[in-house]
Structure formats: C-alpha cells, structure tokens
Structure 1
C-alpha cells in the first residue's frame, strides 16, 4: 500500500494553537475528499527532545497518507481537491516538503507518538533492516508502547514541494514512530531515548526526535 509523508512548517508569526486549529479543521475537511486516500493521519509536534537535533528540520507537523494503490497516487495529487489544498496551505504554512516512503500498512490509532527523524550517513550503507530491528527494540523497551512504524524515503524519488512555500533541501531519509496511548508515556520514552541511540549512530546522522499528538482524519 503506497504511503507518503509530508513535513509541514507553520506560517511565520502563526501561533502553534492557530496552526493546529486550521490544519485539523478547515484543511482536514478539504483533505477528506482527496481521491484514493484510505488513511490520513496528522501528527502535531508538541516538543522536541532536548539535545537531539532541535532545529535540524523545520517541522511543526507530519502528514501520513496511505493510498489504495499506485495507480491512484498521481490522480489524487492532480485532482481538483489537491488544487484546493494548495490554495489553503498558504493560510497556515510557510514550508512543505514530502515524498513517498517504504512503510507498512496503516496502523491502529496511536494517540501520541515519539518520532525519530534522521538521514543516512554519507559513508554508511542504507541498512533498513538494522533500523527496523532497532525500532522493534524500542517498541519492546518503552513502557506502554503500542507499536512502531518505520518509514524510509524511496531513493531518488521526486519530492513534493510548492512554489509558494519554503522547501527542506534535505528531508529525513528515515522516520521512525513509536505509538503510545497517553502523552505522559510518550514523554517518558522521549526522556530515555538518548540511552538507546548507540545502535544507530553508525548509520544515521542529523537525528532529531520529538513528541507528537496524532489525529485520525480518515
């Protein structure tokens, strides 16, 4: 099942509360009509993990979109609904960059998540298996973890950008999420994350982590 992840940067001068309100209501209502989408999750970033790359990526929200099949992905992005989304984006965004990822099917709702964003080291092989094993270990280590998601940017894929908005020149190659039922459990995991990074520092760089609240739109 094809999946896309898009990283959003809120509009300059807009409060986090106003960003959340517009994205989760006006924009979400438009997005519900996007052809071919089977699941749509909004991830509203609450806080960055201290000492882990705050500011490396201009990310205030993460969009997760799953599509029915490969044939409908382009149709969805070229639809009249997509045109309405592009117009509305300028009301609450300063930046947007996304791309296709290799990932599993949509998971059950996870009210809160610990996200880890990173890029491959220039001198390291892209060891997706090692990242998945590491994410599995995190899932088994953190109290209350509901599951894990491993999203790997498709190599050489065309990125989704907008002419009117800023773009990230280097979006994460890897986006790992660990799900939790409540915010306290997600924040506790975030506080312990630095103790669990030794297994991936040889292959990943530009590591940034944050806690997010998930909203299920579709």
Structure 2
C-alpha cells in the first residue's frame, strides 16, 4: 500500500470554516473520482493549544493533511496522470496557498480505533542532525516503536517513513529542501489523555529515547474525515 500525504495551507483570505467547507464538499468530491484510489482521508487541523510531551517543536504550520491510498506505485502514477487529477490541481488554487506532498511507507504499530470518539494527533518528525537516516530508521522502527506502544493511553499508533518529497507539489526535492523524516499518527481517548500519557513512567522513558534520535517534533491535533 502506497500512501501520498499532502500538507496543506489554506489561502490567507479564507476562514477556517470556508477552507473546511471547500475542502470537503468541492475538492473532496473531485479527489474521490480518482481511478484506483483505495482510500481518501482528510485530517483537519484543530487550532487549539495541544498538551502532550513538551518535546522541542518546529515552526511548521499546516491547516490540513490529506491521505490518498493506492495499492501500488503504478496505480498512483496512473491516477495522477488523469484529467481528474488535472482538475484537482486546478481547483487547489481556489482555496490553498501552499501544497507540499510526501510519499510514505506506513507501519501500523498499534491498530487505531475504527470509530470515535477519540483524540488524534499528527506529528512531523525531523531526525537529529548528527544521526544518519539508517540509524534513525533502525531506532525509530525498533526500540522507539515499542516504547511508544507501551505508553498507557495510546490506543492507536502509526509510523510513516517519508520516502519521497515534493515542495511545492509536483516538484521533487531532496532532504535539504524538505527536511522531514517521518510522520506519526497517534490516537488517545480524549484531549486530556496525551498529557497524562507522557507524564507516566513509560511516557518519560519514551521521551528520553526521543531525544536520542529526533531533533524536532511538531504536533497537530486533527479531526479525521473519511471521504472514500
């Protein structure tokens, strides 16, 4: 399964409500017509203070994350070469100021709940500058995955290793131009749960290990909406 994740920034003259309405009703309807699309999820960022680990954060700002799922690379390429995809791109200028895209390899460490209520967070992860990519991946997918999964209150956990970058959308760039290594999805029962989770013995242990491999983690609370 290949997952293409869009990092979206709304037009500055759009309110959150206008952005949300256009993304769901207009753009969502276009994307849902893509051939060979297996799943399409919108994650709307909730702009409220977010409790949690207290780990050093970056300065990145995002208003939404899109997730397009395909079975294979060929399916994804063929879908993005269609007229439907061209209509999608044309429509993006109507409500978006910036679109960046990452292609990820997904690892589901703790299967998330099928339905709510729950609190979902998406985090952008950048490795420490003195850590190689191979060392980061080994530690992140090995020891770190086990530590996060052991934290009380974690009811869903996915790691998404970034293997392709476009900034802006359609322009392939290297790591230096788009320095992100991973995208994390975490689920908790409610908005208060993350603070208690990372204050636990297991949470503190996970944070110590986080500092060994990560330089920045920027977290966004989101509301996921399944379109397809």
Aligned pairs (5 A) from 1:43-192: 43-46=43-46, 47=48, 49=50, 56-104=59-107, 109=114, 111=116, 112-126=119-133, 127-132=136-141, 133-143=143-153, 145-154=154-163, 157-159=164-166, 161-162=168-169, 169-170=177-178, 172-180=180-188, 185-189=190-194
Change (3 A) 1:20 1:135: farther
Distance 1:134 1:115 in 2: 17
1:208 corresponds in structure 2 to 218
Distance 2:212 2:70 in 1: 33
2:209 aligns with one of 177, 191, 199: 199
Change (3 A) 1:190 1:17: farther
Q: Conserved in 2, the CA contact under 8 Å of 1:135 and 1:176? A: no
1:19 corresponds in structure 2 to 19
Q: Which structure: greater helix fraction?
A: 2
1:8 corresponds in structure 2 to 8
- Could you list the runs of 5+ residues in structure 1 that have no partner in the other structure? none
Structure with the greater alpha carbon radius of gyration = 2
Q: Conserved in 2, the CA contact under 8 Å of 1:48 and 1:209? A: no
Distance 1:119 1:139 in 2: 20
Deviates more, 1:171-180 or 1:186-195: 186-195
Deviates more, 1:59-68 or 1:120-129: 120-129
1:37 corresponds in structure 2 to 37
Cα distance per residue 1:91-111 (max 9 Å; x no partner) = 111110012111147966465
Q: RMSD over aligned Cα, in angstroms?
A: 2.7
With the length of structure 1 as denominator, give the TM-score of the two structures.
0.82
Change (3 A) 1:70 1:23: same
Change (3 A) 1:148 1:53: same
Distance 2:12 2:58 in 1: 15
How far the C-alpha of 1:2 sits from its partner, in A, is 1.1
